Amino acid sequence: YLKQNAPWYKKFRSEISFDDNFREKVGYSQRALKADDSYKWKHLAKWYGMVDTSLGQASETELIKDKKNNVAITLEKYLFTYGMTREIKQAILDLESWLRDTLILTKDLLPHNIVVGYEGYQIVLKIVDGLGSKSFLPLEKFSDFFAKIYVERRIRLMHLRISKDLSEKTHA
């Protein structure tokens, strides 16, 4: 179904490439996550692998919770509720720094794919969806030089999306 409704240039891809769980598995197997380094998981939900469910295979990841032990809200919901607070600005800067340090590739850093977790009482943003590269020729998968360019572009696009979301909030 997804393949037949895809744009013409995506119809050349294999059927499995349209499976979100498969794409997430590929995203978690990227070269930046191969090294055994706990820092790489600071802003990323831990991935436990594929599990069987009543609906088929699914990607199992860490459940991120807030400081009251409830399921964490998305960055999108946080921004719509509280706006751009000093704490969330700092958390976004920390996420950006981490991305630059680790060169972990994401398709898009969308506010609804990032949740607001906590370490103690400090906000720590966690990416919960959208790992991997969306490039047609993914040179960033093989070269730190291209990975740096790719990560910077993703960060710029995240800021554009946050600005758009916040401007929609003010006009709502």
User: Residue 99 has which token pair?
Assistant: 């991305």
User: Residue 141 has which token pair?
Assistant: 């998968």
* One pLDDT digit (tens) per residue for the chain, 172 residues: 566 677 766 666 666 666 677 778 878 888 888 877 889 999 999 999 889 999 888 889 999 999 999 999 999 999 999 999 999 999 999 999 999 999 999 998 999 999 999 998 899 999 999 998 888 788 898 899 999 999 999 999 999 999 998 888 776 6
Q: What is the pLDDT of residues 27-57, one digit of tens each?
A: 888 888 887 788 999 999 999 988 999 988 8
The pLDDT value given to residue 18: 65
The pLDDT value given to residue 101: 96
The answer to whether 114 touches 131, Cβ cutoff 8 Å, is no
User: Residue 105 has which token pair?
Assistant: 């590739």
Q: What is the pTM of this model?
A: 0.85
H/E run at residue 108: none
The pairing of strands 122-127 and 114-119 is antiparallel
- In this structure, the number of other CB atoms found within 10 A of the CB of residue 88 comes to 18
Which residue from 145, 91, 156, 159 is spatially nearest to 119, judged by alpha carbons? 91
The CA angle 139-75-34, to the nearest 5 degrees, is: 35
The pLDDT value given to residue 37: 86
The pLDDT value given to residue 34: 85
Q: What is the pLDDT of residues 92-109, one digit of tens each?
A: 999 999 999 999 999 989
The pLDDT value given to residue 17: 62
